[in-house]
Amino acid sequence: MADIERRHRLQLAAMLVLLGCVLGLAGLAAGSEGWSPAAAWQLAWSPDGPLIVGQIRAPRTLGAWLVGALFGLAGAIAQGLFRNPLADPYLLGSASGASLAVVLVLGGSALTGHAIGITTAGAVSRLGLVGAAFLGALVGVSLTVALARGAQHTVRLLLAGVIVGVVLGAASDMVITVAPEALRGKQAFLVGSTGYLGWDSCAVLLAGLAVAAPVAWRLSRALDVLTLGEDSAMSLGLSLTRVRGVLVVALALATGMAVSQAGLVAFVGLAAPHLVRRCAPSAHGYLVLASAGMGGALLLGADVLARSLLAPQEIPVGVLTAALGGCYLLWLLHRRPFA
Amino acid sequence: MTAHGLSAAGIDVVRGGRPVLHGVSLALAPGWTAIVGPNGAGKSTLLRVLVGLQAAERGTVLLEGRALSSWHDAERARRIAWLAQQGEAGGELSARETVMLGRVPHLGLFASPGAADEAAVQRAMAATACEGWAHRRLHELSGGERQRVLLARALAVESPVLLLDEPTTHLDPPHQVAVVRLLQRLGAEGRTVVSVLHDLPLALMADRLVVMADGRVQAQGSRDDAALHDNLVQVFGGAIRIARAGASWMVVPQL
C-alpha cells in the first residue's frame, strides 16, 4: 500500500516534469500563426528567431509556468492553512487589493491629465502597474490580517478577507466612477494574461517562487498538524500565531507576485492542489511542491491553448482557465453525486 | 507533589457570561483517574484548562510544581498529551502519518523522525491495534478506526501526563475494553492518565474517580468508595444504580 502510494507520487512528479518540458517546447512553437513545430523550427533559425522565440515566446512560456506554479503553491498553502479544500489564494484580500491599486494608478493618471490605457501604456506604465498590483495585494492581505487581529483564528481571517474584498472592491468602483478610463485598463490587467511576461518578469517570479516554495515546504509539517484541528495543534506545542503569520506572508508573496505579473488568473490555485490530491494523496510536504508543478503545467497548457485556439487572435489565458476550471468543477460534481 | 503531578487550585472559568467552572481544585497523581458527570458539568473544559488551551479567570494549574503558563509550549507538549473530544482529522494524511504527528513536540517542525520516533509510533499503534491500516487515509476509516488512530496519536507523544476526552467514543465493546486495559496499564506504569468518560461502567474501572456537576468537583475518591457512589447516583438525578459484579461495578438504569 505504502509502496503503491510512493510509486504514484514518483510517477506524478515525473509526469509533471515531463509535462513541463513538453508544454515548454509547445510554448516555444505556438505563435500568432498557430501551432506548428515545423514553422517554429524555421522561425528559430531565421533572422527574427532570436527576437520572437528568444525574447517573446521563451520568457512568456517560462513566465506562464512560474505564474501557474506560484498560484498552485499559494492554493496548496491556502487550503492547508484554512483546512478547506475550496480555499483559493485570493481569500485574504490580495485580489481586491491588487485590483484597487491598479485602478488607482490608471485612474490617478487619468485624473491628472496623463491618460494611459493598458494597450498604449506599454513598457512605461508596466512597471508602475506591476509594482502597484504587488503592493496592493500585500496591502489587501495586511488589512485582512489586521482586521482579524492576527492570524490565530481561521474563521476570523476568512471573514476579514471577505470584508476587505467587498470594501476594496467598492473603493475600486468608486475610483472608476470618477475616472471611467481606468475601467478598460483594469479589465485588461486583471482579466489574467501572460502576454506581457518578459525576462524581467521571469526573474521576479523566479525570485518569488524561490522564497515562497522553500518556506511552504519547510512549514509543511505545521500544515499537517493543523489537519488535527487548531486545539490539537496547540496542544502539540505548535505556535499557531507565528506559523500562521509566516504562512500568510508566503501566501501573500506568492499570490501578489503572480497577480502583479499576470493578473487575476482563475481556478489554477484552486484546481492544482485538487488534482495532486486525486493523483497522489500525500502529506503537505509533497502536496505544496507538486501543486506548484501542477499549477505551472496547468497555466502553461492553458497559455499554449490560448495562443493557438483562435490564432492569430489570442484568448486571455484567465478567461480560458476560468472556463476550463469551471468545466473541471462541474465534472467533479457530476462524478460525485450528493448522497 | 509527585514528579509527574498535575494539579489545579481554585479554577474559575466563565464562558459567554456563564460560569463553567467554579473554584475547581484537584491533584492528579500517577494512575488512571476518570472524570465523570452529567452533560455540561465542565469536564471537557477542565481538561482544556489542564492542558493550557483554556485560560482560567482565577486559579492556577501546576505541572511538576511549576505554573503551567510558565512552561515553554514544546516542553509542556512533551509532558502533557491531549486527545480532543470528537477529534478532527481532515486532509490526506495516512493513519501512520497522523500518529507520527504525536512526535512533533519532540521533533519540532523541522527535524526528521529518527529510530526512537519510529519505535514510539509503532508502540502507540500496537497499543490501539491500528497497525492494520497504517497506510490508509484517515477519511477512509470508520469512526471507531479513526478514534483508535487519534488515540495512538496522543499515545505517541509518550508524555508522563495523558488527558483524554472521551477516548472510547465510537468504539465497539471489545475495543472499549482494550482501551480500559491500556489506561490501567499506563496508570500502573506510573503515567498520570486522566480521561473524561460518559460510560460509567468503564469509568468505574479507573483507579480514582472525580465526580463533577454544575462546574464543581462534587466528590473524588477510589472506585470502591461508597460515598462516591452515592454522590454519583445523586448527580445523575437518581437515574442510575451502582451494584457490585464480582471484582468490578455495574451501573444499571434505575427505572
Return the amino acid letter for A262: A
ipTM score:
0.91
Chain A touched by B153 (CB under 8 Å): yes
Ramachandran area for residue A336 (φ above 0: left; ψ -120 to 50: alpha; else beta): beta
pLDDT of res. A337:
54
Q: What is the mean pLDDT of residues B68-97?
A: 88
Dump pLDDT digits (tens) for B109-137.
Answer: 888 899 999 999 999 999 999 988 888 88
Beta bridge partners of B196: B35, B165
Can you tell me the mean pLDDT for B27-48? 93
Which chain B residues have a beta carbon less than 8 Å from that of A243?
109
For A4, the closest chain B residue by CA position comes to B135
Rounded Cα distance, A21 and A25, in Å: 6
pLDDT in tens, A199-252: 988 998 999 999 999 999 999 999 999 999 889 999 999 988 889 889 988 988
Question: What is the percentage of chain B residues whose pLDDT exceeds 90?
Answer: 69
Strand B208-213 relative to strand B18-28: parallel, antiparallel, unpaired?
Answer: unpaired
pLDDT in tens, A168-211: 999 988 888 888 877 877 777 777 888 778 898 899 899 999 99
Restricting to B residues 51-80, those with a Cβ less than 8 Å away from any Cβ of A are: 51-53, 73-78, 80
Query: A257 pLDDT exceeds 90?
Result: no
DSSP 8-class letter at B29: -
Name the residue of chain A whose CA is nearest to B51's CA: A235
Distance CA B171, CA B179 (A): 9
pLDDT at A111: 58
A24/A63 Cα distance (integer angstroms): 10
Helix (H, G, I), strand (E, B) or coil at B207: coil
Closest Cβ opposite residue A231 in set B53, B137, B157: B53
Q: Give first-to-last CA distance, chain A, whole Å.
A: 28
The alpha carbon of B192 is separated from its chain's Cα centroid by a whole number of angstroms, namely 10
Q: Could you tell me the three cell numbers for A306?
A: 490560448
Burial class of A2 by CB neighbour count within 10 A (0 to 12, 13 to 18, 19+): exposed
pLDDT at B105: 94
Closest CB to B89 among A227, A238, A282 = A227
> What are the strands of the beta sheet with B208-213, ordered from one edge?
B80-83, B161-165, B192-196, B31-36, B208-213, B216-222
The three three-digit cell numbers of residue A29, written as one number: 512553437
Rounded Cα distance between B233 and A221, Å, is 46
- Residues A281-287: what's their mean pLDDT? 92
Q: In A30-57, which residue ranges form alpha helices assigned H by DSSP?
A: 37-45, 49
Q: What is the pLDDT of residues B150-193, one digit of tens each?
A: 999 999 999 999 999 999 988 889 989 999 999 999 999 999 99
Would you say B174 and B62 are in contact if contact means Cβ atoms under 8 Å apart? no
- Give me the helices (H) in chain B, please: 43-51, 73-79, 95-100, 104-107, 115-127, 143-155, 173-188, 200-203, 226-235
What's the CA gap between A246 and A252, in Å, rounded? 10
Q: Percentage of chain B with pLDDT > 70?
A: 97
What chain B residue is nearest to A236 in terms of C-alpha separation?
A: B77
- Prior bond of A312 cis (ω within 30°): yes
Average pLDDT for chain B: 91
Q: Is the pLDDT score of B207 beyond 50?
A: yes
Q: Are B135 and A5 in contact (CB under 8 A)?
A: yes
Q: At what angle do helices B115-127 and B143-155 cross, to 10 degrees?
A: 140
B77–A239: do the CB atoms touch at under 8 Å?
no
Q: How confident is the model at residue A47 (pLDDT cuts 50, 70, 90)?
A: confident
In angstroms, the CA B42 to CA B50 distance is 12
Task: Tell me the torsion sign for CA atoms A221, A7, A21, A195.
Answer: negative
What's phi and psi for A176, nearest 5 deg? -65, -35
Task: Answer whether residue A339 shows pLDDT above 50.
Answer: no
CB contact under 8 A, A235 and B91: no
Distances in Å between the alpha carbon of B103 and those of A258, B64, B96, B150?
Answer: 36, 21, 12, 13
CB contact under 8 A, B53 and A284: no
- Establish, for the pair of chains A and B, how many residue pairs have beta carbons separated by less than 8 Å: 87
Asked if B42 and B24 count as a contact pair (C-beta separation under 8 A), the reply is: yes
Distance from the Cα of B99 to chain A's closest Cα (Å) equals 10
- B69-73 contacts, C-beta under 8 A, 24 or more apart: B73/A234, B73/A237, B73/A238, B73/A239
Q: Name the least confident of A18-32, A110-124, A154-168, A285-299.
A: A110-124
Helix (DSSP H) and strand (DSSP E) numbers for chain A? 15, 2
**Chain B: closest CA distance from residue A27 (Å):** 34
State whether B89 and A225 contact (CB < 8 Å): no
Q: Phi and psi at residue B213, in whole multiples of 5°?
A: -160, 145
Instruction: Please name the residue that has the C-alpha cell 490526506.
Output: B92
pLDDT tens digits for range A301-327: 999 988 888 777 788 888 888 888 888
Contact at CB, B109 and A219, closer than 8 angstroms: yes
Q: Which residues of B touch A83 (CB under 8 A)?
A: 90-91
- What single letter denotes the amino acid at residue A165? G
Q: Which of A230, A232, A279, A284 to mutate to test the interface with B (most CBs of B within 10 A)?
A: A232
